[in-house]
Structure 1
Amino acid sequence: MPRDVSDHCALLLKHNVKNWGHKPFRFNNIWLEHKDLREVVSKAWEEGVQKPWAALRLQQKLSNVKSALKVWNRDVFGDVDSNIQVCTTELVALDEKNERQGLTVEEGIKQKELVASIWEARSHKEQLLAQKARKKWLTCGDLNSKYFHACIRGRRSRNQILTLHVDGRWMEEAEEIKNYILNFFRVHFTSREWNRPSIDKIVMPILSEENKVGLEAAFSLEEVTCMITECVGEKSPGPDGFNFSFVKTFWNLVQNDVMKMLMEFHMNASIPKGLLSYFVALIPKTKSPQGVGEFRPISLLGCLYKIISKLLANRMKGVMEEIINEQQSAFVPGRNVFDSVLIANEVVDYVKKVRRKCFVLKVDFEKAYDSVDWRFLIYMLRKLGFGEKWVKWMEACVCGGHLSILVNGSPTKEAAIGRGLKQGDPLSPFLFLVVAEGLGALMRSAVSKGLFKGVQVGEGPEISLLQFADDTLLIGEATERNLWSIKAVLRCFELISGLKINFHKSCLMGMNVDNNFMHMASSFLNCKVGALPFCYLGLYVGDKPRRRAAWQRLIEVLRNKLVSWKHKYVSIGGRVTLINSVLNSLPLHYLSFWRMPPGVIKEVIKIQRRFLWNGVKESSKICWVRWDQVCKPTKEGGLGVKNIEWFNISLLGKWVWRGLKSPKSLWSQILSARYGCMSILLRSHVVHPKASDWWKDLALVCQQANAWLDNNLLRVIGDGGSVLFWHDRWVGEVILSETFPRLYSLAANKQSTVGENGFFVEGGIWKLLLNSLPVRASLARRGIPVINDFCTLCNNEAENVCHLFLHCRISCKIWYLVLHWLGISACLPNALDELLLSMGGFAFGKKQGRIFTTIWISVIWSL
């Protein structure tokens, strides 16, 4: 309140219970444990339904089940708290009677039944609270109901909307707030009707005919069942109230109706209006939001629509790699969130060390998902080569529907939508990539025409754009021409797609650039000027991870998380679960990219240890068990807490595996251009002093974990160019230099690759078996002058193929040694092909047969 003449302000507190409206039906997973549930659901499902469409019949059947469950929950299952109270009252009465005069046999049985009923009701209550608390884990053992109560209270407090600040005044009435929020989103999702320009002349990848046919294939029961099994059952349901736990449990009952609905959708590309209606939950983006714009809208879809959407999303995911450029690292199999961060970090480090003038523009899109123009989405689908049936399916799923906003758990009236993608729809991430590919194509066109100059690391590919969904970085040389090109490309993309760039929130960072250029560039683009390191996808690009200061943010997050927990409600078993599921997952993002310094590891372990034994109390308690014992698996007497140092090493070791597996990926090409191929890091831990801290730390990890990392890598031969013939495991599980040390000592090139020996393996063996190698006897027959035709090895007999590689006393001795080592007792045959067949006859299985063949080739190659 205004302070008037006083130097103090009065605080006005208002306390009243507002009626926000009815709460929608929600299927409770605890019902699944009741013995009568299947009968109730089956009876309601089989009621006669007269509807023309399978989707409408399904919708009506779910409505019938919903009505039956409401009645059954009220009359049979009952309120959990009431059941506990009634059973407790009866049990207390029996206990008092037992103390006074004893119980009859029937009363003793009744007493045991009441105890069992109370335990069962308490278990139901804990599961119900866990479902409401949105916890993905539930500690077995002692009950955590108080903890879940605290989580629910905290969650409701964070998500509750009691007032809104609009046009300088506070809205407080429930109906007024609901109407205002509904009107806000009605306007927000209204399409702006005007003729948008096209990008017909921009070259884009085209979907192959094989993938096009596969996308539009009929839905099989096996495909649908597999998808249902993979879905998480505890996700918040949509307007129908049913989650996938219900669908999974009653799949045998509902599958025929679901398949009929899918068949109709496949033929007609049409979805009834009721299935396209959805709730929108508002998640705060700030600690104390005051306006509707400070909430993130998340869509809660009905289970029937989600079945269709999830099926289509699974199919679409399989073709994204073909049509989405590697500059985009989101939602494409084989790519992840760290790829773009790694490329950006390497580019920034390289530019700083070679002192090249460059800039990075971090682009901020305003409400990216909500602003997508449906016409541009359909245009892009056709331009990328999707079939007409698939395009019609996408139109049916995306272009239409009605939303209802959940305000403090109560839905508003419905409003039609005219643009945007639903956050929470399984299809939305992939459809957004289709839209974002328009920006990538525009940038690639600008680069190819010489309008924009990116940054090239060594002899690697030129980097001008990095994307993770809508998180975008533009990287280029610090020139005015590049600034003009950026502004033109971004403005063009805004006009064609509907995605508005928020230049006020965008940020420009310069490397080796003077302040005058940065001020000019920021004024021209109307954006902020930033500095290194800058945050991108949750990590700081250009940071110094070997310094403790770089990890201080993470330490503070861990400490703040501890303070927020209601530790007094959690048992020690619950604390172990919290350490593994939260305290170890919070730094997961950092640990997957940076190597944690020893000092920081000690600090994190200190936080974990204190929480395990003390909670978050300031007073110190004795740690009764050593931390290394705590980190052991439960089978070995530990508590199964992850060892964060080895956790970090294993996560970083995955980079080596990914680099060896995908040497042609964009990030791997950048590393190869700067340091060489990833396999070099495993064999030589000598790192160039100008390498980035990330690469130096990865080298340390390889050095530290080389025994288990390299020893468990098995190479599959492609062109053989990156696999060492003598030193890598490419023939079964053996290393040839260790298996054949004497042959290895005779090798002329001990560092040769399999690819370098390819001529001999592919062509040399063929010539050898045809007796067509240029040995001295063959040369003499063709009139080519030779000094003599004696064997090069023994200098006693004529040199022909059979003698040189088999019957020469030196060759013969080597073959007998090899056969003895293999455990084969046999005389040498007359020909090399007979020897090969003979060795194959002693092999057990195809795998050993391939090993024996490789040994035969290796011996010949060594000779």
Structure 2
Amino acid sequence: MDLKQKAKIKWVVDGDENTSFFHAFVNNQNRRNKIHEKWLNRPKIRSNRFKKLSQEASSCLELPFSVEEIKNALWCCGSDKAPGPDSFIFKFFKTYWDLLKNDIMSFVRSFELRSNFSIGCNSSFISLAAKTKDPLSLNDYRPISLIGALYKIVAKTLSIRVRKHIGTCIDDVQLAFVEGRNILEGPLMTPYLLVIGQQKNVFNLARILRCFHVVSGLKVNFNKSKVFGIGADFEEVCRWAGPLGCAPSSLPFIYLRVPVGENMNRKKAWKPIIDKFRSKLSLWKAKSLSFSGRMTLVNSVLGKLPTFYLSLFPAPVGIIEELEKIQRQFLWRCDYEKQTVHWVAWDKLKAPKEVGGARVGSIWNLNLALLAKWWWKFKTSPQSLWAQIISGFHNTTNRPWYCFAKPKRSGVWSSIDKIKNRFWKMNIEVKEILNTHDGGLTWRSDYVMDGKFCVAKLRNRLDKAHHPVGDGEFWWLNSVPKKMTSFVWRAKQGRIPSAEALERRNIPVTSPMCGLCADQK
């Protein structure tokens, strides 16, 4: 069986398993898998243009681990993540840190001395997580390695150290996994990046990628790559894709979970978000949760699902209304095609807690706050690649500081520039969000905390602009279960399904009398 697997012959006939032909296939397979000397001595590229770590950064990476570093790395790990072969979750180590601290540090010191782990400490489980709704093959699964807790503590500590210095030796074109860079900068630049495709250019690109593979040992996965044609016939795109060995495709397409080449003013472009919203806020979940639990889930889904879309595209009014309709129906446990009693007005639920609301959160205001953050990033990071591309395309250096794009232009960045009109309708000036400082040398904003733009602070400002007057602040105490505070909040407004309230809404009741005190009220 072992030789049969090595030969990788699936059509072998009984009786031919031990022939010279069979062994020739085994030997050929071994030759293909063998690492030859030419791969051990890879060619090198010598250039002074490559970025390197400074001597100071290199020294910092080689310092012994401190107790504070190990504790910080431990607290950065999720407390209840799936355990590895050792069956320990990080909540155990956090709870008994004072008791286990010395043993953990002994393990870390052993790793520093020997540069390897003891047998069994780096064992792991491989778990397959489905990437699609109905997986049919291994390609539809994502392998996840469940490693032991001690191994992960060391790995997390190393990653935190490397994160502080890795940005100095990585080129600006790498947007993900580098502190201070945003993966969404990629889709923002994509409409401005075009490659003039000719057959000879495709062959040259294939040669360049081959040389890159030989020099670095890193091979491009063409199974995950596609060739797109803009203003080109599909047959021509197929000819371009042939030398590269990847599949041809066409616009629109999904890049980093956001659509590229799609008209985001059309409802069908937002269908993935609407479908995910509806699946996460399904009726069976609503029936098994209390009112406070439903409010928590509504806020949780709002904060996670549509962030990629809302961070790049101004949502049309119809999409906002559709998403809020799903929220309302889930909150009041009604079928999506039926009507039911909504005990509290939606504007009251969205209002900030400072004015007596429940702070469910406005999707409209979240969208505006996320988009306004790009204004701050554009002005404060002019050296970044995406800002240079947009500045050159829109010629912003010769325009007033509050003009971020050319007028009468279309595209993602032009749409972000046009949200100024929405702020003006709310009596909020652009200079409140972003303004010059020190004679135009620097920039300031009322919504910056610790040097970073705070989306939550601007969103809260927008919520208050929509709800300037309320019933007064209601104290949502964390020490009191939310189920109780939400009930008191509704009772304070007379918005609970009492017999009197049901009668007032023409809903038949068995008796208007209280079952405890026999009082009609």
The answer for the alignment partner of 2:26 in structure 1 is none
SS at match of 1:520: helix
Contact 1:631–1:642, Cα closer than 8 Å, also in 2: yes
Question: Does 1:710 pair with 2:428?
Answer: no
CA drift at 1:251 = 0.9
- Which of 686, 691, 696 does residue 414 from structure 2 map onto? 696
Matched-pair contact (CA < 8 Å) for 1:630–1:639: yes
Q: CA deviation at 1:712?
A: 4.8
- Whole-angstrom CA distance in 2 between matches of 1:709 and 1:262: 52
1:510, CA displacement in angstroms?
1.5
CA shift in 2, pair 1:708/1:574, >3 Å = farther
CA distance in 2, matches of 1:600, 1:665: 32
Q: State the shift of 1:640 in Å.
A: 1.9
Q: Distance in 2 between matches of 1:318 and 1:659?
A: 23
Partner of 1:483: 202
Letter matched to residue 44 of structure 2: D
Secondary structure at 2:357 match in 1? coil
Do the aligned partners of residues 666 and 620 (structure 1) sit closer, same or farther apart at CA in structure 2, a change above 3 Å counting?
same
The structure 2 residue matched to 1:645, chosen from 345, 364, 384, is 364
Aligned residues: 411
**SS of 1:483's equivalent?**
helix
Q: 1:328 to 1:616 in 2, by over 3 A?
A: farther
Question: 2: CA distance between counterparts of 1:334 and 1:224?
Answer: 23
For 1:439-518, what aligned pairs fall within 5 Å after superposition? 476-495=195-214, 500-503=219-222, 506-515=225-234, 517-518=236-237
> Contact 2:264–2:313 at 8 Å: present in 1 too?
yes
Indicate the residue corresponding to 1:566 in structure 2.
285
Q: Which amino acid aligns with 2:315?
A: M
Verify the 8 A CA contact 1:609 1:627 in the aligned structure 2.
yes
Structure 1 709/580 Cα, relative in aligned 2: closer, same or farther at 3 Å? farther
Structure-2 residue corresponding to 1:610: 329
Pick closer, same or farther for the CA change 1:507–1:267 going to 2, 3 Å.
same
- Contact in 1 for aligned 2:396/2:404 (Cα 8 Å): no
Counterpart position of 1:624? 343
Are the counterparts in 1 of residues 282 and 330 from structure 2 also a CA contact under 8 Å?
no
Provide closer, same or farther for how the CA distance between residues 503 and 685 of structure 1 changes in structure 2, counting only shifts above 3 A: closer
Which amino acid is 2:300 matched to? S
Q: Distance in 2 between matches of 1:311 and 1:685?
A: 40
> Of residues 209, 215, 233 in structure 1, which corresponds to 2:55?
209
> Aligned in 2, Cα 1:505/1:237: closer, same or farther, shift over 3 Å?
closer
* Aligned twin of 1:198: 42
1:327 shift after superposition:
1.2
Choose from 256, 262, 270 the match for 1:537: 256
Alpha-carbon separation, structure 1, partners of 2:398 and 2:82: 46
1:769-780 mapped onto 2 (5 Å cutoff): none
Q: What pairs with 1:260-275 in structure 2 (closer than 5 Å)?
A: 260-275=106-121
Q: Report the Cα offset of residue 700 of structure 1.
A: 2.2
Which residue of 2 is the match for residue 675 of structure 1? 394
Note if contact 1:280-1:298 (Cα within 8 Å) is conserved in structure 2.
Answer: yes
Counterpart of 2:93 in structure 1 is 247
**Distance in 2, Cα, partners of 1:481 & 1:228:** 52
The 1:577/1:517 distance shift into structure 2, 3 A limit, reads same
Secondary structure of 2:120's aligned partner: helix
Q: Provide the alpha-carbon RMSD of the alignment.
A: 3.1
The answer to whether the 8 A contact 2:176-2:183 is kept is yes
Contact 2:405 2:414 in 1 (8 A): no
2:519 maps to none
Q: 1:619/1:688 Cα in 2 relative to 1: closer, same or farther (>3 Å)?
A: closer
Deviations 1:201-235 (A, max 9, x none): 25432111111001111212222222223322111
Q: Partners of 1:496 and 1:583 in 2: how far apart?
A: 46
* Counterparts of residues 324-403 of structure 1 (less than 5 Å): 324-347=170-193, 358=194
Q: Distance in 1 between matches of 2:397 and 2:288?
A: 49
Match of 1:308 in 2: 154
Give the superposition deviation at 1:586: 1.3
In the aligned structure 1, how far is the partner of 2:61 from the partner of 2:220?
Answer: 33
Q: How does 1:656-675 map to 2 (within 5 A)?
A: 656-675=375-394
- 1:223 is aligned to 2:69: yes
Aligned partner of 2:155: which letter? Answer: S
Q: 1:528 to 1:290 in 2, by over 3 A?
A: closer
**Is 1:233–2:75 an aligned residue pair?**
no
Write out aligned runs for 1:143-222 (5 A).
193-194=35-36, 195-196=38-39, 198-201=42-45, 203=47, 204-222=50-68
* Aligned mates of 1:314, 1:610 — CA distance in 2: 43
**Paired residues of 1:596 and 1:648 also in contact (CA < 8 A):** yes
- For the residues of structure 1 that align with 2:222 and 2:400, how far apart are their CA atoms? 41
Distance 2:404 2:135 in 1: 51
CA distance in 2 between counterparts of 1:198 and 1:483 reads 25
Q: Aligned in 2, Cα 1:604/1:705: closer, same or farther, shift over 3 Å? A: same
List runs of 5+ in structure 2 lacking aligned partners.
Answer: 1-9, 12-32, 447-521
**Residue 15 (structure 1) aligns with:** none
TM superposition score normalised by structure 2: 0.72
Question: CA distance change for structure 1 residues 729 and 555 in 2, over 3 Å: closer, same or farther?
Answer: closer
Query: 2:4 — aligned with what?
Result: none
Describe how 1:682-761 pairs up with structure 2 within 5 A.
683-684=402-403, 687-689=406-408, 691-705=409-423, 707=428, 710-713=431-434
C-alpha distance in structure 1 between counterparts of 2:253 and 2:98, whole Å: 52
Structure 1 CA distance, aligned partners of 2:120 and 2:397?
53
1:278 shift after superposition? 1.2
Amino acid paired to 1:699: D
Residues 659-704 of structure 1: CA deviation (Å, up to 9, x unaligned): 1221100011111111244895762477422x33322221222343
CA contact (8 A) 1:283 1:295 kept: yes
Counterparts of 1:346 and 1:666, CA distance in 2:
12
| Residues 596-607 of structure 1 mapped to structure 2, 5 A cutoff | 596-607=315-326
Contact 1:679 1:722 in 2 (8 A): no
TM-fit CA distance, 1:243: 1.3
Question: For 2:359 and 2:352, how far apart are their aligned partners in 1?
Answer: 4
2:133 corresponds to which residue? 287
CA 252–503 in structure 1, closer or farther in 2 if over 3 Å, else same? closer
What is the letter of the counterpart of residue 201 of structure 1? I
Q: Normalised by the size of structure 1, how large is the TM-score?
A: 0.44
Question: 1:572 offset after TM fit, Å?
Answer: 1.7
Query: Shift in Å at residue 254 of structure 1?
Result: 1.3
Question: One-letter code of the match for 1:696?
Answer: S
* Equivalent residue, structure 1, for 2:300: 581
Distance 2:405 2:186 in 1: 26
Say which one has the larger Rg: 1
For residues 579 and 573 of structure 1, the distance between their equivalents in structure 2, rounded to whole angstroms, comes to 10
Residues 253, 681 of structure 1: alpha-carbon distance in 2 compared, 3 angstrom cutoff: farther
Offset of residue 337 of structure 1: 1.5
Show CA shifts across 1:605-662 (max 9, x none).
Answer: 1111111113445431022222111112345332221100000000111111111221
Change (3 A) 1:234 1:529: same
Paired residues of 2:185 and 2:386 also in contact (CA < 8 A)? yes
Instruction: Please say if residues 61 and 162 of structure 2, whose CA atoms lie closer than 8 Å, have aligned partners that are also in contact.
Output: yes
1:562/1:616 contact within 8 Å kept: no
Give distance in 1, aligned partners of 2:69 and 2:53: 22
- What's the CA shift for 1:280? 1.5
- Distance in 2, matches of 1:244 and 1:685, equals 46
In 1, the alpha carbon distance for the partners of 2:227 and 2:75 equals: 46
